[in-house]
Structure 1
Amino acid sequence: MAETVVHVTTLEQWKSVLDVWFEQGYLWVDGDYIYNEHYFRRYGSRQIGLKDSTKKYICCWVNNDYDGYNMIEFSEFMAQQKEDNKMAMVYEVSQSVFNELQRIKAHEDTSLIESIAANAQFIKSIKIGNKAILRYLADDPAIEFKVKESLYRLWRVDEEEDTVYMTFVHGTPDWTATPGLAFTAPLEEIKKWQTPAWEIEKVDE
């Protein structure tokens, strides 16, 4: 079920909603970090949302047929963001990214600006938004980073010696050859689904 669905009327509004979600670390279901303007231009989608399945991701309704109770107008969405920004924004990153940010922030034997410049490519590679990262490195109290909980998935080798992963199709356990489509969850949740046929592995950060 979509947790937030926004009704937009212009391409600028479409991009503004995506800018907010990109900065909060959300991506399209296939991992893209782009505006996907063709959904708006070619297919006429005016409903864009965050969907919560095995993970939360951005999606849209190309037929504009979302009929839930939680769709809001663009103006209401932006007003909510303004209100939320009064509180600290918390971003979750992997342990390795968190450690690297602490090293850059410490900027030993150099200035903070020089430390940021020397690590510009790494900072750009973090799919959160440069503005939030730079504010964090400059000790903005409204921005907080923390280590996200490790995720795991189930895998096995099938009769053709191929590695496959457990997933869900319409709520029923199934398998997929694509690691990115596997069911992922914290270790305790994954253990509930393990049988002798499946092995547990940590998802790469």
Structure 2
Amino acid sequence: MTETVVHVTTLEEWKSVLDVWFAQGYEWRGSGKDYEKHLFYTFGASFLLLDDDITAEDLNNDKPFIEYKDFISQQEKTMAKETYYVTQEQLHLIKELKENPAPLDWVILDWDTKYRALRVDITAEKSNAVLRYLGGDETIEFKVKEQLYRLWRIDDDKNRVYMKLWFGTPTWTGDTDYAFTAPREEIEKHKTVSWEIEKVD
């Protein structure tokens, strides 16, 4: 990751920056999640550094840094992001469009037919989010939704049925809404010679 350096002037600012990084899973190099107040008092107006872990120094070099208020402002923007889940193919198209000059023109003027899939496959709510994202709205983010699977088989009456769990016991249903769905590795645990695996749309 790129190193982040934050300049803090009070102990409260020091603790606030550390709270953000601790919540993201980072720790001090070699000493875990502690406020290490003695370092703040050692350096006075201090600089907190985050690379793979947290360090601090008085920064007597030309290393670029950001002020505390700018750091908090960035965090608030990140926290306020609206997240939309799409397929891997849709995410690829959205990111590809974003790299194009005038990306909205590519969608509206239909310059490339491969982008039609975004208009057809994405719901109205998500398509508005795509337009906002392409227009430069930084509060929107897209993530790949986790692919789910279910188990199916053909019964004695030649009907397609799906496995479901009833109080933890495997049984069957003809309704896909009640089928047991899970990520692939979990579904694999329940597969037997009688059942086939399929993706859930």
TM (normalized to structure 2)?
Answer: 0.49
* Bigger share in helix: 2
Bigger radius of gyration among the two: 2
TM (normalized to structure 1)?
Answer: 0.48
Which of 1 and 2 has higher RCO (CA within 8 Å, sep 6+)? 1
